[in-house]
Amino acid sequence: MSSKYQKTFTTPDNFHQVLKDFTREVLRVQPPNIYEFGYKYFTDLAKAIENGSQVDETESNKRDTIESSDSNINAYRNNEISESEEAIGGNEIGQFDLPSEDEIGAAIRQELSNYADDQNSVFPYIARRVLIEVVPTLNEAQMYLTVAENEVNDAGKNDVDEFSARAAALVHQLIAGQHYADDVVVNDNDLVMDLTRSELEDEMRSVFQRADPERTGGIKFEEFVNVLSEADVSLNRRDITLILSEAPVFPNTQNVNYEAVVGKVHKLLFFAQMIEQEAE
């Protein structure tokens, strides 16, 4: 029950856009110290405002998310859809229209373009985060399925155009058909490659540590990709793609914190195994 003494706060103008821009920069740069990065980011921003600098209108438009440009996706993204609501004719779910495949693809492509390199590709970790941001109604199983079906290139990255198109088709199909709608519970004793969670983590940790003799806890992204491809455990394309999607990279060092990845490997490969079995 609300208290009569509860104070209602109003947010300053442009508050949400400022936070969104800052969040995007954190995801793009992956700073090792978010506090130092935040201090420098807002200090530079304050100086730019003091000097009368104006935000580039083109860049501002580029950064706007689909809320301001497409009311259909806006309605879908900002309203929870109950499991009890049934599709109402055509492509509608509940009282909101399910965005078209083209609309979903455009939204994903627009966000990914903010992080793309000169080859129009992004780290799989970024692609996964963007997918979650654009389509927050995806559950974990649907999200990982979408990621797993998008191949990475030789450099271990996702092509922006290919990922956007493929992800849009899968997302539309998954949501419209309510595929993988139930949450999947992964237990520590569930066998993946005939190994429990602790056994698989030990195996993968040893694989990464061989590439990190000084035990720094991190290895270059390119080397991380090679280690996965040449690992003693038999990893297929889906396995590698899913692991890469949970491997954040710091641009200043191009290093992956493999210890953070090791703790997620069991769940990731369980989903990959589940997808393989469903496909048979």
How would DSSP label each residue in 50-65? Answer: HTT----HHHHHHH--
**Band (157; pLDDT cuts 50, 70, 90):** very high
Does some domain include residue 93?
A: no
Residue 136 has pLDDT above 70, yes or no: yes
Query: Residue 244 in contact with residue 125, Cβ under 8 Å?
Result: yes
118 and 170 in one domain? yes
CATH number of the domain that 140 lies in? 1.10.238
pTM here is 0.63
Which structure tokens are listed for 209?
A: 């540590």
**The predicted structure's pLDDT at residue 163:** 95
List helix spans (H) across the chain.
15-29, 34-50, 57-63, 71-77, 101-112, 124-134, 140-148, 160-176, 197-209, 221-229, 237-245, 258-279
**Band (257; pLDDT cuts 50, 70, 90):** confident
Structural domain range at position 213 = 197-279
**Residue 44 vs residue 141, higher pLDDT:** 141
**The predicted structure's pLDDT at residue 242:** 92
Residue 175 has pLDDT above 70, yes or no: yes
Q: Residue 85 to residues 114, 119, 153, 174, 237: CA-CA distances in angstroms?
A: 35, 42, 39, 16, 36
Q: Return the top range by mean pLDDT from 85-94, 158-167, 177-186, 233-242.
A: 158-167
Domain C-terminal end among 182, 211, 244: 182
**The predicted structure's pLDDT at residue 160:** 95
Task: Count up the domains in the chain and report the number.
Answer: 3
Q: How many CA atoms lie within 13 A of 201 on its CB side?
A: 14
**The predicted structure's pLDDT at residue 51:** 66
256 and 208 in one domain? yes
178 and 201 in one domain? no
**Band (54; pLDDT cuts 50, 70, 90):** very low
Give the type of residue at 71. Answer: S
Mean pLDDT of the chain: 76
C-alpha torsion 59→64→65→67, nearest 10: -160
**The predicted structure's pLDDT at residue 9:** 56
Domain C-terminal end among 148, 182, 216: 182
According to DSSP, the residues that pair with 157 across neighbouring strands are none
109 and 158 in one domain? yes
According to DSSP, the residues that pair with 121 across neighbouring strands are 159
**The predicted structure's pLDDT at residue 87:** 29
Query: Residue 65 in contact with residue 111, Cβ under 8 Å?
Result: yes
